[in-house]
Structure 1
Amino acid sequence: MTGTVTTIWVDASSGASGDMLLGALVGAGVPVETIRTAVDAVSPEPVELRVEAATRHGFAATRVHVEVADSAHHRTWRDIRTLLLEAPLADDVRDLALRAFERLAVAEGTVHGHDPMDVHFHEVGALDAIADVVGVCAGFVHLAAGEVVVSPVAVGSGSVRGAHGVLPVPPPAVAALLTGVPSYAGPGEGELCTPTGAALLTTLATAYAAQPAMTTTGIGVGAGGRDPESHANVLRLLVGTAVPRAEDPDDLLVLETNVDDLDPRLWPEVIAAVMAAGALDAWLTPILMKKGRPAHTFRALVAPDRAAEVRAAVFRETTTIGIRDYPVSRHALPRETTTVTVGGLEIAVKVARLDGLVVTAQPEYDDVVRAARALDRPVREVLAEATAAARVLTA
């Protein structure tokens, strides 16, 4: 299916794991040999992929078994990174796999207080997880995935036994990986989303939502290893092309108030609270009121269905006793989020398109600051390097 840009919707309403994604990819038409070639290029020890038909609660699905011999090697992120860098992989497959494993390493290092480079992956560092990550990345590259929309992710409930003992579900690494991502308990009990599954979804996703407008050309259903009574333990991929969307303006509201008696140091917190309440944007304008009093006009741009929550936040966080609102129309460019790498660390980049062509690509400043601190480099240097890397996207 190479040669065209593909839209993929990942239905993770029953959870996600590496082998479920592999099964869904094979079911959607990715040749097993494509996956096997990529896995063999990286794995330092023999790995066998065995495909079989399965059913889960009446769903016909594809199960991919990753079979490996017992290994005495406990590999760190440093070891796996070397394997990936030295393997004869396509650059886009290598990049995705490096990003997925880096996410795993940072998550594991954060929750256990270790340097990410020295994290021993335990379950996720075994040969089967190397096969899962590399194989899934190769499959998505084969499908020429341009837009990957992921549903809210089911994570499970209860507890699970891991290398560090009994852990709550979602396990700490999964919770860290899915920070900022829509998730919920989902059907049944136990662990529904594994660290490997979470790392892959968050690496591949360009958006999180219900199924987008698309013309579906293929469906893959990947079976999980368990077959619980509570639900069909499957992950679905819908593969196709995006339906062109009419560029109608958004009908929004501007909430507005004049404030002359608030300590100016509080305004950054006001803006943060209003954004957290659902505002699309918020800003201040210095003004001069009657009798020469200095003041600010505070404005927030909101969707009508979020106006009540944002209005309440303005009342709570400021000294105003009255708020005006008026309708506006907004024409917004389609946008997506990708990443660039500076010093081995990911920095998100917001990309906007006009008639399908990239017209702007801006690094997220919070990510730049985080990377600068981690690398012990000036923020301005990291910002300049990230901006230069982002500019390549518009070329």
Structure 2
Amino acid sequence: MRRAWIDASAGVAGDMLLAALLDAGARLEAVRAAVAAVIPDEVRLTPRQVTRAGLRATHLQVESTDRHHPRTWDDIRELISRTTLPGRVRGDALAVFERLAHAEARVHGVPVAQVHFHEVGAWDSIADVVGVCTALHDLGVSELSAGPVAVGSGRVRTAHGELPVPVPAVAELAAGWRILAGGEGELATPTGMALVTALARECAELPPMRLEATGIGAGGRDVPGRPNVVRVLLGVEGDQPEDAIVLEANIDDLDPRIWPTVLTSLLEAGAADAWLVPIVMKKGRPAHTLCVLASPGQADPLRSAIFRLTTTLGVRERAVRKTPLERGWAHVDVLGARLPVKVGHRDGVIVQATPEFEDAARLAVQEGLAVRAVLDAALAAARTARLAPGEPVPSHLEETCSRH
């Protein structure tokens, strides 16, 4: 499950949230195409890198092409509904606008169908809402939550005159949500508040996740001492089980000297792992069960390889679920050589750290030592380098290994 958490402790606006999602990896071309599907040729979206109180962020410039028109909630609903956007994107965008329309209707005392989005701007609110919903879909987010929202303080001038902060629409949208002042001025806009409260499952602290990316979206103002940004933290929930398959065959008539080459060939053919289990078959004959672990997509070629490499007349298979640790490489200095250490980790903490055997064996031959002595020296060097269970994952960890 991929989840995202919104940090709105400095406020939130629709363009800031969209910029944060783009900064986290959502594709700009997908967002532009979705917005154009609703309001063709009305909006330009231009991201750029900025700093806010010394913090790097992405600022998204949402510009009108002067071809927009004032629209009611009914107009916007019709525009979104008739597009070919993915069903989830359409549904989420309609939910946000419906929430926004009901809030505006209550504030102004008019029927929902007559709400005009003049205060939030129909064209830029469409870009923000459709853009955010598309970006979440593009990132594969299945669960969204958010922390308390800073709404600001003081007063702000609007089309209806001077209003207190939070403005009435934001206050209406924030009902049931935890809010705080957070600073001077208007820090949360109606569109931003509608996006958070309509799409986020709950108001909660940062949930446990394996962090994959952080996106930072900037507001238009650079406030000294307080970064004017929205952050989005993107990750997956804990260790993620993966679908796999185990192929098995009972074999009692293969020359045992061949087994090492069979296992090596299966690993080279794409198996995640391959091993033998000693068994006793009918009439007391000693035999082995050949076991091969693989992704479902590798089942066919590996099944063919088993038939080609062994004497079996049949292969059985079963589906399994595996939960791998994240993996990477580090290196330690041993006897003047650099030996790789495979590091398995979860939630930022090392779980396993194992010197690579083949490299240790080659160094042992080169130095005329027992392999065990080289492995012991490598483990001692790894502990000295804080590559040991319970230690934090080092920042210099190299590229992730294949996950078996």
SS at match of 2:142: strand
2:201 corresponds to: 206
1:224 corresponds to: 219
SS at match of 1:121: coil
Deviation at 1:72, TM superposition (A): 6.3
For residue 195 of structure 1, the aligned residue among 166, 190, 197 is 190
Structure 2 distance, partners of 1:214, 1:38, is 29
Deviation at 1:139, TM superposition (A): 0.5
Deviation at 1:67, TM superposition (A): 1.1
Q: Does 2:131 align with 1:135?
A: yes
Structure 1 distance, partners of 2:141, 2:159, is 34
SS at match of 2:47: strand
Alignment of 1:36-75 (within 5 A): 36-71=32-67, 73-75=69-71
Deviation at 1:44, TM superposition (A): 4.4
Identity %: 53
SS at match of 2:100: helix
2:120 corresponds to: 124
> Aligned-residue CA RMSD in angstroms?
1.5
Deviation at 1:143, TM superposition (A): 1.6
SS at match of 1:123: coil
Structure 1 distance, partners of 2:63, 2:139, is 25
Structure 2 distance, partners of 1:115, 1:130, is 21
SS at match of 1:149: strand
Contact 1:76 1:125 in 2 (8 A): no
Cα 1:180–1:116 shift into 2, 3 Å:
same
Instruction: Give 5+ residue unaligned stretches, structure 1.
Output: 245-395
Structure 1 distance, partners of 2:72, 2:213, is 37
Structure 2 distance, partners of 1:125, 1:114, is 18
Structure 1 distance, partners of 2:173, 2:72, is 18
Alignment of 1:325-336 (within 5 A): none
SS at match of 1:64: strand
Structure 2 distance, partners of 1:71, 1:106, is 27
Structure 1 distance, partners of 2:68, 2:149, is 33
Instruction: Give 5+ residue unaligned stretches, structure 2.
Output: 240-404
Deviation at 1:180, TM superposition (A): 0.3
AA aligned to 2:221 is R
AA aligned to 1:185 is A
1:16 corresponds to: 12
Contact 2:42 2:68 in 1 (8 A): no
For residue 156 of structure 1, the aligned residue among 152, 155, 160 is 152
1:271 corresponds to: none
AA aligned to 1:30 is A
Deviation at 1:123, TM superposition (A): 2.8
Deviation per CA, 1:320-341, whole angstroms, max 9, x where unpaired? xxxxxxxxxxxxxxxxxxxxxx
Alignment length (residue pairs) = 240
Cα 1:169–1:71 shift into 2, 3 Å:
farther
Structure 1 distance, partners of 2:41, 2:106, is 29
- The alignment's TM-score, normalised by the length of structure 1, stands at 0.59
For residue 103 of structure 2, the aligned residue among 68, 93, 107 is 107
Structure 1 distance, partners of 2:110, 2:42, is 30
Structure 2 distance, partners of 1:54, 1:232, is 11
For residue 172 of structure 1, the aligned residue among 168, 175, 195 is 168
Alignment of 1:1-395 (within 5 A): 5-71=1-67, 73-186=69-182, 188-243=183-238
Larger radius of gyration: 2
SS at match of 2:120: helix
Contact 2:4 2:144 in 1 (8 A): yes
Deviation at 1:46, TM superposition (A): 2.5
SS at match of 1:8: strand
Structure 2 distance, partners of 1:58, 1:34, is 30
Structure 2 distance, partners of 1:87, 1:164, is 33
SS at match of 2:5: strand
AA aligned to 1:34 is A
Deviation per CA, 1:54-98, whole angstroms, max 9, x where unpaired? 100111100111111235621100111110111221111000000
SS at match of 2:12: coil
Structure 2 distance, partners of 1:36, 1:135, is 7
Deviation at 1:144, TM superposition (A): 1.9
SS at match of 2:124: helix
